[in-house]
Homo-oligomer: A and B are copies of this chain.
Amino acid sequence: MRTRPLKVALLGCGVVGSEVARIMTTHADDLAARIGAPVELAGVAVRRPSKVREGIDPALVTTDATALVKRGDIDVVIEVIGGIEPARTLITTAFEHGASVVSANKALLAEDGATLYAAAERHGRDLYFEAAVAGAIPLIRPLRESLAGDKVNRVLGIVNGTTNFILDKMDTSGAGYTEALDEATALGYAEADPTADVEGFDAAAKAAILASIAFHTRVRLDDVHREGLTEVTAADIASAKRMGCTVKLLAICERAADGRSVTARVHPAMIPLSHPLASVREAYNAVFVESEAAGQLMFYGPGAGGAPTASAVLGDLVAVCRNKLAGATGPGESAYTQLPVSPMGEVVTRYHISLDVADKPGVLAQVATVFAEHGVSIDTVRQQGKDGEASLVVVTHRAPDAALSGTVEALRKLDTVRGVASIMRVEGE
């Protein structure tokens, strides 16, 4: 074994960073044996240097992250500060000055992964980011490497723990969205400002990363259709239950049937209780991958948290260090297919639509005509009436999203339709 240590710079020392530093210290011998050389924490860039950080030598702590990545003796930079800047500049600067990078930064990878990949390749460095998607669950490596000889057609998953916790609470307790969010916040599953989670931005960033890797093309955050779960009601959940379904916030990346384009989207959807994703509880994550030869694979585990995310970061650290010792680099960007990303309107899906209608003869015929005019075929209709009011619950067959949403717009204009109580897509069948 080489005795001269590989030097690691840590950018950020919050929940994940402090756990990375802790494991690097407590498991130093194991890491050295697995890498073939010891690894040494050579510097830790933080915003608040005065904060006491147990187990970290204060002499290593700096507020000057730029100087740290420019030192020139750093072999690997671990970036766990998140956000676009200064993370992007720090990472590209690290590449310029001789370091490879392990990052957990989903937002940056989804926004501008191409810049990072290009800088890594230009300087012959590694860019690894298992921790950016679904925490500890190995997903990036299986997609980039294990399935490199296969053709992935679909990735469907629960990739945000906060929203899964909220929906699980709503499902099990009948709570409304606000009540469930309050509980998630109280238990530390939701941040003080939950926007990134509940509006689907976090899941959309992960969908962009997964789609890019799965389909060997470039999919950016802006390419991902995004709907959060703030409008999911207790009535929607109850409605899903009546259908033998539950509601999950899903990230769905698909190759079009003709293979010439891809789509990526995040939205709440009903899935059958028999689907394995339906039983993913609390803040857990799970991702289905469907490929031509392997068939259906599922990966399940904790999608966030300091220790699980640190596990993913350290797995990447070992890989990057091994590559460094071998004088090689791991897989870089693979975007050779250059498939266009189609808009949401072209996605083929199914709708569950709940309408409040006048309770009089001919209403169903009128509604059915609107569906037919938009080329949308109806799978089932359930009609309930009382006291002059009635509700119609329609589940469609598969149709392009544009035709489905066009149908809903037309339904809203009917005199006999008093309101559209809920619209939700149905997936996983």
Contacts and interface: CB of A to CB of B under 8 A. Distances in A.
B293 A310 contact: yes
Given A295-B302, A301-B294, A307-B295, A138 B149 contact: no
Interface in A212-255: 216
A150 B314 contact: yes
A328 interface: yes
Interface in A98-154: 130, 135-138, 141-142, 145-151
Given A311-B147, A327-B327, A297 B301 contact: yes
A318 B331 CA distance: 10
Nearest to A147: B315
Interface stretch (A23-31, A59-67, A396-404): A23-31
Given A294-B136, A298-B300, A301-B298, A318 B149 contact: yes
A374 interface: no
A227 to B, nearest CB: 28
A394 B336 CA distance: 62
A357 B237 CA distance: 52
Nearest to A22: B293
A295 B301 contact: yes
B149 A314 contact: yes
Contacts of A297: 136-138, 299-301
A159 to B, nearest CB: 15
A299 B300 CA distance: 6
Interface string A292-324: 111111111110010110111111111100110
B294 A312 contact: yes
Nearest to A335: B33
B312 A146 contact: yes
A215 to B, nearest CB: 11
Interface in A149-205: 149-151
Given A293-B307, A311-B293, A300 B300 contact: yes
B318 A293 contact: no
